[in-house]
Structure formats: structure tokens, C-alpha cells
């Protein structure tokens, strides 16, 4: 490991800062004691099988929470105290803003209130007639509390009954009782009773009881029948329940307004503006959305019982069309006096307010890449919504960018021109499948066609045409699918200079990856995403992709390695991405990520196509290294490729892991600390390529150093860093400064590096990017 005096001084200062943060007694004001927390002891008459859960629940009631402790110290409190000085300095201001905590003094503790909360919670859990007490433990400038709770044996359920009545609602409740989670022997638990009441009310909402409410259901516990702490549970309706809350409702009529304006009045129903499909009235002065197509998105019909879930699913399906900014389903009671068994009736009105039909978007971009290429770019896009009056969206986008290498020397004249045009047609239904097969959301059919080119001066021009046909759909709140049964890409390498041809001649692996011009296969993606649900404290994100190409072409060509005169690729590729989030108050988040990907060429392919290979490094990967500068394995392109510094290092296996702590600084500015690790490798047998390259030390070194073997952990690159993020309504501009911690292409005994203070080449890498890295 390479170190210097500056490094030692920095480490010593950090250690001193942590030790110094222990001495906070002198900052505690006279007459105050710092509250250090509380413990609780449970005393019971007999064994309580879930005593740990009960104790954990009671601990959560103890307030306030003491200041955070780290390794026996309170650095967050120390930063707060230091920031209160007359001239605290920038460092302590920053540390206090990011990590500081205000002191929690014992004068804020109300032991009597905590004792009441403990007794109330024990009552809610069936431990009636419990007792609680507290004892304060003083230690000069510090104080803590010991609570005690004496609990008798809890009351347990013996029988669960429904009071009988002739109202229709009782008959439905009786049908749902067998599905209850309450069982004989269960301890009395108020939370379980609330969950049972919510379950019953939700079930009634699906059976037509439009006016049902949770607070109309009453539980009564009877302990008089037993002397051994048992109780019978009785369920009934509240007294004087309105008649309309105890009867089911049927949908009598459905009216849809496909072109509703929030500011305007509702159109009257006339012969000129009403189209009726299966007893559903569609009201629009001019045709905006074809009624026959729109009808297929509705999950309820005239004569159906009201169902809250079906109504919500219908709203989700209409919102997912991509044509409407506002979807509102309203119900009006047509008969509010109905009391007989036939129930009441509802009129359903569906108001749909369209998005702007056409939109044009232009972006001027400043591209700054980690490989030294910098330059301007422009993106233009045009979107036409509801283009065929069936919710279809047609969009065309074009992009162009110019990048130039800013490095000095012989490479300063390198430049790159990239551009492309693409057209997408998104149809909000599954062609040719029926929408009724998908209850949560109807799949969208997407047809895409595009052309891209990349011209790198002094090297080559790469142009490609791509087309795809597939589906995207949402299975439920968290699960998404994408399936492209047809995915085609044809690329052509042209204008190859002698310089780049020498690189290809010297590197058969790279050469063959460019020769596979035709890619045709199937793509499938699965995503489970809880991150968008902000109420979850520990959401997870998981996605996996499968890419299989060449099998159909192999069958059509009769096993030939070419089709239509071009070499086609044959491979299987899969990857998985797992992210775990931990969210705290004050917008603090810890994100952990693990990624793995593997591609296997087979049949007539010895390598993966260039565009399908994995790479590591850059602003969305291991940020301490330039983009595509890692691997494969411990291979070092700079020492092998003396002709030019061009080499897109890649492999067919990728492993990567990241941890990032995100925290607010002020207003829209956020901060982060992170550590990244990963690399790419080569797997499989490349002996045939090596035989073709016997005179090439470059290829021999590539295949030797790049192979994935048992000691792969020693070839993992790692880096640490910190960053700033300007986050305005989820539009994020990111600046990350990273430094290597472990460099895989160095000699084995020199791979570790002291970040920011070591002597490694490129010891600091600045990454500018849009969006979070993961």
C-alpha cells in the first residue's frame, strides 16, 4: 500500500475527532441532564409465548428517543454543540447540517405519560389489570429510566359469533366469517380486531354495499361466561345504522365523457352526441376516442353490483392509456330510500380529461464523458397522442451530438459524431389478445423503428438499423413485464482506417464482435419495484433481463453462419439487478445494490456482439474509473495497446456491487458518500481465436488476464467517493468525485491504494451525469 505523511495526518485527525466527540459533558447546561434512554422489564404470572414481541412493542412507546450513539460515542450531538459556538467554522456547520442532532434532556421525559401508554397498550393486547412503574437512574450529567410492567395472564378467545338480523348486510358478513384470521386461543388484540373489521368492510365494498363503513361494525367482548381469562367475541352493527348503509347497490346506468374538460360543463345527452355500446353511453361532440375501443377498458357493466376494487382497477386501466391527465369515476345514488332486499341503484359517470394532443420537446445537451470526450448535443422529439382515436401514441425523436477528445498530445484530434432517428407507435391494447384477460392493466403493444450512426474520426463509422415489436404491461402495483418477441438489429462497420484495422487484426476478439452484423431474437424483462411507494421504509427493487438471439435465424438458414449475406449472432444473455433501500427521517437513504450479468455465445458465434457486451467503470458503474476502462480481469489496455488509446474494454461476465448513503444539504442540494466495486471477465473457450492470433501478444495477454477463474475476487476493482446532486422534482444533475481503493490491473502486491492521497495514476475521477447512478 502506498501512503504518505499527509495520509497519516488525515487519519490521525479523524481518529482524534471521534475520540474528542466523547467529551460532551462540558457542553451540557447547568441544571440539565442528558437523557441516555430507557429499559423495560416485564414481570408476568406465567409464561408469555410472544413476550419478545410484546416487549419490542412497548419499547416503541417510550419517548423521547435519546441521541444517537456510535461506538459508545455521540458524534451527531457533538457536531450540534460545536456548531452553536460564535464562530463554528464551515466544517462544523456542514457536519451539523448533515448529521447533527439537537440534545435530548431528561427534563423532556414524562415518565407518568409513558407509564399510561404502557398500560393502555397492554390492555389493547389482552393483559387487563396490568401495573407499571418507573425508576430514574441519575449519573451526574446523565440520566436514564428503568420501567417495569407487571402483567397477568392475557384473555384469550373462546368463541366468535355474529349477532343475527334480517338485514341483507348480515347475510354477506356471515358468508365472510369462515375466512377470518381470528382463531380460538388467540390473545385479545385490538390491532387484530381492527384488521378483521377492515377485512369485512372491504369485502362488503366488493359485494355492492356502497355506503358501508368500518365504524359501523362493532365488536363486543364478553368475559362473564368464564372464570379462566377467556372471552366470547360478538360482532354486530352499530345501533341506528342508516338503511342505505345496510343494503347492496346495483349499477343502473353508465355514462362516459371521453373528451371532458375540467373547466367546462358536462354535455347533455342527446342523439347527436351520444353513442351507445352495450348499454353504456359515450358522450362527445366530436369523436375523440372510439367508443368501441374505450368500452373494452371498463370492467363493470350495467346490472353489476357495485365493487370498489373493480372501480379502482377500471380507473387504473383508463389512466394507463396515456391519453388522459384526469380520470374520475363518480357514483350517484338513484334511490336513497330503498330498504327492501332488492337494494338500491347507482348511476356511474366516468369523466376523462385528455392530455395535450401534440407536444414538441427540444433539449440542448452538454456531453462530458469519463473517457475524455466532451461536446454539445441536441435532442428533438415530437409526440402525437390518440393519433388514431384509440389511445395510440406516435412519437418521433432525433438526436445529434459532437464530441472531441480534450486530452493533449497525439490524441487531441480525436472526435466523435453520433446521431439517430427513431419512431415509436404505442397502442394501448394487446394485439391480437383480448384486453379482458388482464384485470390490473392492459398490455401496451409497441412497434419501434430506428437508425443510429457513430463516426469516430481516424477510426471507423458504425451505423445500425433496429426494429422491434413487443408488449409492456403492469401485473400489479409493483410488478412490470416487457416482452419483445421480435427484436432485430443490423449494424455495418465502414470507413475503417488503417489504424483501426491494425487494432482489429491484432485483436480477434474485438474483430469478431464487430463482424456479427445481424442480431435477431427475443427479449424479456421482469421488474419488481417498491421504491416509488414513499411510505415504505425498506423498499426493494429487482429486475432481470433475458436476451436470446439467433435460434430462429439458424433454423431458417439451415445451420448456415450467414443469412442474407451477413453474419448473424447466436447467444443467450441474462442479468439481474437487486437494490435494497433503507429510508430514515430527514430524507436520508442508504442504498445497496448488487448486479450480475452473463452472456454465452454459441452455435456460429465465438464472442458476443460488440453492442451486447458488458463493460465496467464510469458514472453509472465503478465511478473511480473511466467508462469502459476496467477489465476484463486484470488486463491493462494501456500497457498493451501502444497504437492508440482506443480500446473499449468489455467482457461477457459482469459482477458489481455498490453502497451509497444519500442525505440532504440544503434546499434542492443533496449529498452522498459511496463505495463501488466490480469488474468484467471473459468466460468460455477462446482457443480458436488464440490459434488465429499466435503472433499477437496483445490477444494472448487479453485471454490470459481476462479469464474468470477461482481468484476472481483479487481482480475486483473498488473505489470510494462523495458527490453533490441538484434534485429538482426528481430531475437530478449529479457531480461525483471518486478515487480508486483497489486497482486490479496493478501488480498483485500494489493493488490497494489510499483514496485521494495515494500515488495511483488518475487518483481522482470527476463524473458529471444526469439522474441517480442506481
* pLDDT tens digits along 617-660: 888 899 998 888 898 998 886 665 544 445 568 899 999 999 99
Both 262 and 308 in one domain: the answer is yes
Which of residues 108, 134, 151 is at a domain's end?
151
DSSP tag of 177: G
Domain count, the chain: 3
For residue 614, tell me if it sits in a domain: no
Q: How far is it, in rounded angstroms, from Cα 327 to Cα 502?
A: 61
Q: What CATH code is carried by the domain that includes residue 59? A: 3.10.20.310
Q: What angle do CA 254, 255, 259 make, to 5 degrees?
A: 150
Both 121 and 201 in one domain: the answer is no
Both 174 and 132 in one domain: the answer is no
For residue 19, tell me if it sits in a domain: yes
The stretch 365-377 carries a mean pLDDT of 57
For residue 99, tell me if it sits in a domain: yes
H-run or E-run covering 626: none
What residue numbers bound the domain in which 82 lies?
A: 5-151
Q: What angle do CA 331, 333, 336 make, to 5 degrees?
A: 160
Q: What is the pTM of this model?
A: 0.76
Both 112 and 187 in one domain: the answer is no
For residue 394, tell me if it sits in a domain: no
pLDDT at residue 217 tops 50:
yes
Percent pLDDT > 90 in the chain is: 51
The stretch 309-337 carries a mean pLDDT of 88
Both 146 and 167 in one domain: the answer is no
Q: Is the distance from CB of 524 to CB of 482 less than 8 angstroms?
A: yes
Both 137 and 18 in one domain: the answer is yes
The stretch 372-400 carries a mean pLDDT of 87
Span 593-608, pLDDT tens digits? 999 999 999 988 888 8
DSSP tag of 437: G
Both 39 and 93 in one domain: the answer is yes
Nearest to 560 by CA among 80, 568, 771: 568
Q: Which residues contact 633 (CB under 8 A, 6 or more apart)?
A: 651, 679, 681, 682, 705, 706, 707, 708, 712, 715, 744
Sign (positive or negative) of CA dihedral 168, 172, 175, 181: negative
The pLDDT of residue 434? 59
Q: Is the distance from CB of 313 to CB of 298 less than 8 angstroms?
A: no
The pLDDT of residue 339? 52
For residue 48, tell me if it sits in a domain: yes
Q: How far is it, in rounded angstroms, from Cα 535 to Cα 430?
A: 32
Q: Name the strands in the sheet holding 142-151, side by side, starting at the edge strand that comes first in the sequence.
A: 34-44, 142-151, 131-139
Span 103-134, pLDDT tens digits? 999 999 999 999 999 999 999 999 999 999 99
For residue 602, tell me if it sits in a domain: no
According to DSSP H, which parts of 62-107 are helical? 75-83, 89-99
Both 169 and 184 in one domain: the answer is yes
The pLDDT of residue 730? 74
Q: How far is it, in rounded angstroms, from Cα 626 to Cα 647?
A: 12
Which of residues 95, 117, 151 is at a domain's end?
151
pLDDT at residue 611 tops 90:
no
Nearest to 582 by CA among 591, 571, 570: 591
Both 284 and 328 in one domain: the answer is yes
Hey, what's the cell of 265?
360543463
Q: Which residues contact 577 (CB under 8 A, 6 or more apart)?
A: 541, 542, 543, 544, 593, 594, 595, 774
For residue 623, tell me if it sits in a domain: no
Residue 223, Cβ neighbours under 10 Å: how many?
14
The stretch 153-179 carries a mean pLDDT of 91
Radius of gyration of the chain (CA): 34
Which of residues 245, 266, 300 is at a domain's end?
245
For residue 37, tell me if it sits in a domain: yes
The pLDDT of residue 401? 84
The stretch 31-36 carries a mean pLDDT of 93
Name the pLDDT band for 419 (thresholds 50, 70, 90). Answer: very high
Both 223 and 262 in one domain: the answer is no
Q: Is the distance from CB of 671 to CB of 480 less than 8 angstroms?
A: no
pLDDT at residue 371 tops 80:
no
The pLDDT of residue 561? 81
Q: Which residues contact 349 (CB under 8 A, 6 or more apart)?
A: 255, 257, 329, 330, 331, 332
The stretch 741-750 carries a mean pLDDT of 90
Both 136 and 165 in one domain: the answer is no
Using CA atoms, how far residue 464 sits from 385, 455, 501, in Å, is 28, 12, 20
Residue 688, Cα to own-chain centre: how many angstroms? 43
Amino acid at each position: 500500500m502506498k501512503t504518505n505523511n499527509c495520509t497519516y495526518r488525515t487519519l490521525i485527525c479523524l481518529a482524534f475527532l471521534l475520540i474528542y466527540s466523547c467529551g460532551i459533558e462540558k457542553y451540557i447546561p447547568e441544571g440539565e441532564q442528558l437523557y441516555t434512554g430507557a429499559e423495560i422489564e416485564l414481570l408476568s404470572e406465567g409464561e408469555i409465548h410472544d413476550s419478545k414481541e410484546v416487549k419490542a412493542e412497548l419499547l416503541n412507546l417510550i419517548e423521547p428517543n435519546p441521541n444517537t450513539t456510535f461506538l459508545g460515542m455521540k458524534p451527531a450531538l457533538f457536531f450540534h454543540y460545536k456548531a452553536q459556538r460564535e464562530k463554528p467554522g464551515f466544517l462544523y456547520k456542514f457536519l451539523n447540517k448533515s448529521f447533527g442532532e439537537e440534545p435530548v434532556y431528561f427534563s423532556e421525559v414524562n415518565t407518568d405519560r409513558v407509564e399510561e401508554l404502557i398500560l393502555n397498550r397492554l390492555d389493547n393486547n389482552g393483559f387487563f389489570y396490568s401495573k407499571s412503574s418507573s425508576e430514574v437512574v441519575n449519573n451526574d450529567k446523565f440520566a436514564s429510566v428503568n420501567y417495569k410492567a407487571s402483567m397477568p395472564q392475557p384473555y384469550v378467545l373462546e368463541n366468535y359469533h355474529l349477532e343475527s338480523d334480517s338485514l341483507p348486510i348480515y347475510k354477506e358478513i356471515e358468508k365472510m366469517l369462515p375466512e377470518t384470521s381470528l382463531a380460538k386461543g388467540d390473545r385479545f388484540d385490538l390491532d387484530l380486531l381492527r384488521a378483521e373489521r377492515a377485512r369485512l368492510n372491504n369485502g362488503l365494498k366488493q359485494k355492492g354495499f356502497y355506503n358501508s363503513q368500518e365504524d359501523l361494525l362493532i365488536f363486543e367482548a364478553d368475559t362473564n361466561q368464564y372464570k379462566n381469562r377467556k372471552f366470547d367475541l360478538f360482532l354486530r352493527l352499530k345501533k341506528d345504522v342508516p338503511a342505505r348503509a345496510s343494503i347492496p347497490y346495483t349499477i343502473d346506468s353508465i355514462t362516459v365523457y371521453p373528451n371532458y374538460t375540467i373547466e367546462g360543463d358536462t354535455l347533455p345527452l342527446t342523439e347527436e352526441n351520444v353513442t351507445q355500446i352495450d348499454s353504456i353511453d359515450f358522450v362527445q361532440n366530436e369523436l375523440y376516442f372510439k367508443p368501441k375501443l374505450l368500452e373494452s377498458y371498463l370492467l363493470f357493466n350495467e346490472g353489476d353490483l357495485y365493487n370498489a376494487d373493480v372501480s379502482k382497477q377500471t380507473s387504473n386501466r383508463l389512466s394507463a392509456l396515456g391519453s388522459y391527465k384526469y380520470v374520475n369515476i363518480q357514483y350517484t345514488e338513484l334511490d336513497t330510500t330503498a330498504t327492501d332486499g332488492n337494494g338500491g341503484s347507482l348511476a356511474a359517470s366516468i369523466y376523462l380529461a385528455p392530455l395535450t394532443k401534440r407536444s414538441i420537446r427540444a433539449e440542448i445537451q452538454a456531453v462530458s464523458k469519463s473517457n475524455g470526450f466532451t461536446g454539445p448535443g441536441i435532442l428533438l422529439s415530437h409526440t402525437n397522442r390518440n393519433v388514431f382515436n384509440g389511445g395510440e401514441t406516435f412519437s418521433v425523436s432525433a438526436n445529434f451530438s459532437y464530441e472531441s477528445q480534450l486530452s493533449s498530445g497525439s490524441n487531441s484530434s480525436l472526435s466523435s459524431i453520433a446521431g439517430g432517428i427513431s419512431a415509436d407507435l404505442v397502442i394501448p391494447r394487446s394485439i391480437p389478445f383480448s384486453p379482458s384477460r388482464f384485470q390490473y392493466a392492459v398490455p401496451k403493444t409497441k412497434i419501434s423503428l430506428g437508425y443510429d450512426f457513430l463516426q469516430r474520426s481516424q477510426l471507423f463509422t458504425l451505423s445500425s438499423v433496429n426494429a422491434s415489436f413487443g408488449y409492456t404491461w403492469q401485473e400489479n402495483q409493483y410488478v412490470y413485464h416487457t416482452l419483445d418477441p421480435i427484436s432485430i438489429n443490423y449494424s455495418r462497420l465502414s470507413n475503417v482506417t488503417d489504424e483501426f484495422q491494425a487494432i482489429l487484426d491484432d485483436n480477434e476478439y474485438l474483430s469478431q464482435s464487430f463482424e456479427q452484423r445481424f442480431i435477431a431474437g427475443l427479449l424479456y424483462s421482469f421488474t419488481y419495484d417498491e421504491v416509488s411507494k414513499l411510505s415504505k421504509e425498506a423498499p426493494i427493487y429487482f429486475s432481470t433481463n433475458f436476451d436470446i438471439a439467433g435460434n430462429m435465424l439458424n433454423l431458417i438458414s439451415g445451420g448456415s453462419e450467414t443469412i442474407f449475406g451477413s453474419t448473424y449472432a447466436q447467444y443467450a444473455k441474462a442479468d439481474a439487478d437487486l437494490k435494497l433501500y433503507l429510508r430514515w427521517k430527514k430524507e436520508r437513504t442508504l442504498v445497496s445494490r448488487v448486479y450480475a450479468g452473463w452472456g454465452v455465445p454459441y452455435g456460429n458465434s465465438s464472442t458476443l456482439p460488440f453492442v451486447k457486451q458488458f463493460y465496467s467503470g464510469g458514472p453509472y458503474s465503478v465511478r473511480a474509473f473511466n467508462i469502459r476502462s476496467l477489465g476484463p480481469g486484470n488486463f491493462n489496455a494501456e500497457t498493451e495497446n501502444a497504437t492508440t488509446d482506443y480500446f473499449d474494454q468489455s467482457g461477457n461476465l459482469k459482477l458489481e456491487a455498490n453502497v451509497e448513503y444519500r442525505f440532504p444539504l440544503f434546499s434542492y442540494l443533496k449529498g452522498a458518500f459511496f463505495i463501488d466495486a466490480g469488474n468484467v471477465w471473459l468466460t468460455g473457450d477462446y482457443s480458436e481465436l488464440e490459434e488465429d492470433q499466435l503472433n499477437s501478444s496483445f490477444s494472448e495477454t487479453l485471454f490470459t488476464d481476462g479469464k474468470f477463474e477461482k481468484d476472481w475476487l483479487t481482480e475486483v476493482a473498488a473505489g470510494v467517493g462523495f458527490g453533490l446532486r441538484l434534485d429538482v422534482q426528481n430531475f437530478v444533475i449529479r457531480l461525483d468525485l471518486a478515487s480508486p481503493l483497489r486497482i486490479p490491473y496493478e501488480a498483485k502486491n500494489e493493488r490497494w491504494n489510499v483514496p485521494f492521497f495515494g500515488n495511483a495514476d488518475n487518483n481522482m475521477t470527476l463524473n458529471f451525469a444526469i439522474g441517480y447512478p442506481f
